[in-house]
Amino acid sequence: MHLISPAVDVYETAKGWNIHVEPPGVRNEDIKIDASDNVVSLSDESKFSQDYNRNNVRYQERRFGAYSRTIPLPDSVDRDMIDASFKDGVLSLFLPKGEAAQPRKITFA
């Protein structure tokens, strides 16, 4: 079994952080997401297809096995409002900033 490291993009907006992950050959209901202790952890396992016998494989580029990614989070993430979706093979997470971290316009009184 090979340890797989899926591609991950993280970018920040004024309202929070967006994380996009390309988990290899997994079902969305099998992806485990845990946000705690200033990290978000993603894990799953892609399994070798039962449609064919491993002994008959002549060429194989796809990888199968467990993967795990841990991404550090800033303290300002509102962990209760994290949102996840899975579409077209891409897992998308939105981690909103808490109120204290939101940009504010300061005006003179």
Asked whether residue 44 is domain-assigned, the answer is yes
Which residues in the chain land under pLDDT 50? 1-2
Range of the domain at 15: 7-101
Q: Answer whether residue 108 is part of any domain.
A: no
Number of H helices, E strands in the chain: 0, 7
Sign of CA dihedral 75, 78, 80, 81: negative
Residue 39 falls inside a structural domain: yes
Counted domains in the chain: 1
pLDDT at 30: 83
Whether the full predicted model's pTM is greater than 0.75, yes or no, is no
Q: Within its chain, how far is the Cα of 20 from the centroid?
A: 6
The answer to whether residue 77 is domain-embedded is: yes
CATH number at residue 20: 2.60.40.790
Q: Kindly write down the DSSP assignment for every residue of 10-53, as one continuous string.
A: EEE-SSEEEEEEE-TT--GGG-EEEEETTEEEEEEEE---TTS-
Please count the other Cβ atoms lying within 10 Å of the Cβ belonging to residue 91.
Answer: 21
Burial of 42 (0-12, 13-18, 19+ CB in 10 A): buried
Q: Is residue 1 part of a domain?
A: no
80 within a domain of the structure (yes/no): yes
**Can you give the pLDDT at residue 49?**
63
Q: What is residue 1's predicted lDDT score, i.e. its pLDDT?
A: 44
Q: Tell me, what's the pLDDT at 77? A: 86
The predicted pLDDT at position 68 comes to: 83
